[in-house]
Structure 1
């Protein structure tokens, strides 16, 4: 399987044939923030923690269950450096135990891919664009989004430095675009070791909890001290 590849399709995570909603297996999307400030892109301990969480989650799934691992960076859903999909089945090659190990290994590989130049860290992060673009997927229902991110929104139109320093807050969501999705964000406020994370989680956690809840996600789980450095 080609782990790192470029894709240009905006939203194709649920590209199964058109069927009635009740016939679709549940979908879980694991999203990795690939901005330069994110811990799991550089720190092997952080990548291993994310890998353990993903592996444990998948190991407990019943078949059938659709899985995706995607990257989140400069272009929201418009460009994917990482785009991997699979379905948990009862077959030996694609059962929950096998896919748990495979998806865990993808997260473990992130720092090495960056170090080897096979995955480039992004200069900004458009998390809001990412969540807004999920609307057609959430509309299907029975979808879980698990994002590993420091929670720092930073784009050309949103000053990431001011956000980190507490001089700017997240806007109110423009619609309830996450209705039908369960959303988790892990690692909020935990910047890579070269950055100052002091007090950041305390400022960002309630903002993201409010944003996701007001956007219709239910339930919402946002954690800060996810990585055990």
Structure 2
């Protein structure tokens, strides 16, 4: 009788993980993401969007708490090389001012900045100047008042070649772009939570995965 009681107690206290082990695939028209849950408590997430340029993988350990699946991940990332801060144009001027600076005030030279409409019908090109302040005429409204614009920066900073494309609001009056030539490595511990359902999972919490998406078991 005592052994039966102990067996029942173990079944109650120790979570049953066998029913979640396996491979899951996202229910999404433009994505083929999969999540593999292994018996040894590890997992592999494969991000497979509609473009191979955006594919990525991450892995770590998983555990089950009641009806919640928790994925732990140690992510190695770097600081952004280009940080854009925008200020809305309260006066609704027809021009936009772009300020350029570098972390630690490293010298700027040989930079070209292109400011253009998102449909690329209106392109303005300027070279870097000594004060790092450039003025552009706002792009004409093409589709809607909240339309975005592109900012391309390429050239050389302190003998290092740089190239980037930033997206900005067409309605901004001032834009400060900070360039970091020596981005530091960042170690981030991430948690991804899923709700466990019958033969499927739903994302509850994640910094990189879209909340509410469903995955079915293969």
TM-score (norm. length: structure 2):
0.23
Specify the structure having the higher radius of gyration (Cα): 2
| Bigger strand fraction | 2
TM-score (norm. length: structure 1):
0.22
